[in-house]
Structure 1
């Protein structure tokens, strides 16, 4: 894949294909012991398995602390119906103590200096907080969100905290939709506009009946120096097939297996 004139340092940690540990790594044994995704233990396990890229998610607590958490609430993880933004940090730490331990965004960046983080900002209230925390670590972070507006707010806050280096970023859904439309009507100008300022596309292979990751999309992204990472891929045959197709990264729940299978 052609490189940009100044590739973001987030990409320097490994060659392609990259393995991105989805919400850390929770093995079957860890799951049986009550460990959950996005916990301190899950991030530590991914790091111990050799993952240099960890994909995670970000919400804010009631008292304004950015924490690694995927869902809006605690129903799936702890059987508690409350939202993350309704719970203060201390209580959330207590709830997560037997589930692998809560980890804040700041703690993750400070505790795992060898890890590149892929942070998906899940809540509007988390955008500025996450961006400000990420700023000093911008060389090690890719910021993203399904919402491009939220993503851009987080990037703006990160640049305000560290004007010397912006985080890497991957496109939100509105940008992806503009890109697919431009590809459909064969508009090179539209493709270039959609990919401007984007370092990566992080996508499912399909969205319902729509094939999202196609040879045409890969060619266009690579022509503009943009990587394509596919989520969430857990079957070895799918990993091999997608890498053969030309994708640059696999987001997976089985990071240890993917690292062994996709070793550059």
Structure 2
């Protein structure tokens, strides 16, 4: 009479298959840990010691009208480590420093930046809407204008900066590459953008000599791979910095492991936009290289309390 396998035999076979799969996966992960990673050559933006760099977001948008000479000058007086700004192209092809693609929110004008000439943009009051802590408008009618990138480089020669390309226009990338070369700022700036095509084009336009922050796709791929412990599979050697928020898509990005993994490649880790004391202390604790903030005066105070004033 024919007999059928007993349940115990089926369980044993299933166990062997499962064990073989687990061993294969384990060996795969072990092998990945031996994959060498390429280190980035530019170390300029790694923190010195335990104190992270203070990066003035839009020059310090919480202290003065963002992306204006007024804000950048205040941050310079505070001796922040880096200035952060955003750039667009005017109708006549000038690189201008402004966050939005329209002038409505930050000036007394209306319309798209790309549809206005530099002369028209310069006529606007870039301090019009800024509200001070006492509820007044301290910069209204004070001659605060939208600056050009050329003005910024001329006014703050050699000052470290991170500059975001706010459009996908490849001409903007070309113009920025030319301005950086003209002002000898090659080793002093980080170029960033949420437009991967524009950022990758900039890398080519600058012959890969200007530091860049990792584009959105590369950052996303690295973060996902990091969570799966396979980040060594993701090439990052083109990038000098990774600029990320503390959380994204429900994921906590504030771990010592992600910072150490990027430091193994000599890549700086900079977080945005940080405006509270708990977050500052958390980022110091995990070894972040930079803290981008609207209130550099506040972050400086916290770091001075923690480590003493910079001499």
Which bin holds the TM-score, normalised by the shorter protein? 0.7 to 0.9
Contact 1:20 1:250 in 2 (8 A): yes
Residues 256, 14 of structure 1: alpha-carbon distance in 2 compared, 3 angstrom cutoff: farther
Structure 2 residue aligned with 1:235, among 243, 262, 276? 276
CA RMSD of aligned residues (A): 2.4
13 and 113 in structure 1: CA distance in 2 versus 1, 3 angstrom threshold:
farther
Which of 157, 175, 184 is equivalent to 2:227? 184
- The match for 1:33 is none
Out of 285, 292, 298, the residue aligned to residue 251 of structure 1 is 292
Choose between structure 1 and 2: higher helix proportion: 1
Q: Is the 8 A contact 1:8 1:168 kept in 2?
A: no
CA offset at residue 218 of structure 1?
1.5
- Give the aligned partner of residue 170 of structure 1: 213
1:66-89 CA distances to partner (integer Å, 9 max, x unpaired)?
A: 011111111211264411101100
> Could you tell me which residue of structure 2 aligns to residue 162 of structure 1?
none
Find the partner of 1:157 among 205, 209, 232: 205
Farther-moved stretch of structure 1 (18-27 vs 205-214)? 205-214
Alignment partner, residue 91 of structure 1: 120
Give the whole-Å Cα distance in 1 for the aligned partners of 2:66 and 2:296. Answer: 13
Q: Does 2:177 align with 1:142?
A: no
Cα distance, 1:208 vs. partner? 4.1
Q: 1:118 aligns with which of 155, 162, 166?
A: 162
Distance 1:113 1:62 in 2: 26
What corresponds to 2:175 in structure 1? Answer: 129
Give the 3-state SS of the residue equivalent to 1:149 in structure 2. helix
Stretch of structure 1 that moved more, 176-185 or 114-123: 176-185
Write out aligned runs for 1:218-229 (5 A): 218-229=259-270
Q: How many residues align?
A: 248
Q: Does 1:61 align with 2:93?
A: no
Distance in 1, matches of 2:147 and 2:48, equals 25
Measured after TM superposition, the shift of residue 101 of structure 1 is 2.0
Unaligned 5+ runs, structure 2: 1-38, 129-143
Distance 1:245 1:127 in 2: 33
Tell me the TM-score normalised to structure 1 length.
0.85
DSSP 3-state at the match of 1:19: strand
2:151 paired with 1:107: yes
TM, length-normalised to structure 2: 0.73
* Structure 1 residue runs of 4 or more that deviate by more than 3 Å after TM superposition: 12-16, 96-99
Question: 1-side partners of 2:300 and 2:186: how far apart?
Answer: 25
Q: CA deviation at 1:143?
A: 0.6
* Alpha-carbon distance, 1:158 to partner: 2.8
Paired with 2:300 and 2:240, the residues of 1 have a C-alpha distance of 22
Structure having the higher strand fraction is 1
Q: Distance in 2 between matches of 1:5 and 1:144?
A: 16
Match of 1:24 in 2: 59
Distance apart, 1:8 and its partner CA: 4.3
In the other structure, the counterpart of 2:32 is none
